[in-house]
Structure 1
Amino acid sequence: MAIEEQVLKETALADLHKEVQVYHNRGFRLVQVSCSMVEDSFELSYSFDKDYHFESLRVMVPAGTTVKSISGIYWAAFIYENEIHDFFGLEFEGMSLDYNGTLFKTAKKFPFANVTFRGEEPCQKK
Structure 2
Amino acid sequence: MASEILREISASDLLAETLKLKHAGYRMVAISCTYKEVMELTYSFDLNYDLVNLRILTDTKTELPSIGIIYAYSFLYENEIKELFGVNITGISPDYNDSLYKIPVKTPFGIQE
The two structures have a TM-score, normalised by structure 2, of 0.92
Identical aligned residues as a percent: 38
CA distance in structure 2 between the partners assigned to 1:15 and 1:86 by the alignment: 23
2:32 matched to which residue of 1? 34
Which residues of structure 1 form unaligned runs of 5+? 116-123
2:12 matched to which residue of 1? 14
2:41 matched to which residue of 1? 44
The two structures have a TM-score, normalised by structure 1, of 0.83
Which structure's CA Rg is the greater one?
1
Which residues of structure 2 form unaligned runs of 5+? none
Shift in CA distance, 94/12, structure 1 to aligned 2, threshold 3 Å: same
CA shift for structure 1 position 105? 1.0
In 1, are the aligned partners of 2:59 and 2:87 still within 8 Å (CA)?
Answer: no
Structure with higher RCO (Cα < 8 A, 6+ apart): 2
CA distance in structure 2 between the partners assigned to 1:27 and 1:7 by the alignment: 16
CA distance in structure 2 between the partners assigned to 1:5 and 1:26 by the alignment: 16
Choose from 105, 108, 111 the match for 1:111. Answer: 108
Q: Which has the higher helix share?
A: 2
1:121 matched to which residue of 2? none
CA distance in structure 2 between the partners assigned to 1:48 and 1:72 by the alignment: 16
Choose from 36, 45, 50 the match for 1:53. Answer: 50
CA distance in structure 2 between the partners assigned to 1:29 and 1:90 by the alignment: 23
**Which is further off, 5-14 or 66-75?**
5-14
CA distance in structure 2 between the partners assigned to 1:59 and 1:20 by the alignment: 12
Q: Residue 94 of structure 2 aligns to a residue in which SS?
A: coil
* Amino acid in structure 2 at the alignment position of 1:81: E
Moved >4 Å (runs of 4+):
none
Q: Residue 92 of structure 2 aligns to a residue in which SS?
A: coil
Alignment partner of 1:99 is 2:96: yes
Q: Residue 76 of structure 1 aligns to a residue in which SS?
A: helix
1:73 matched to which residue of 2? 70
CA distance in structure 1 between the partners assigned to 2:23 and 2:98 by the alignment: 31
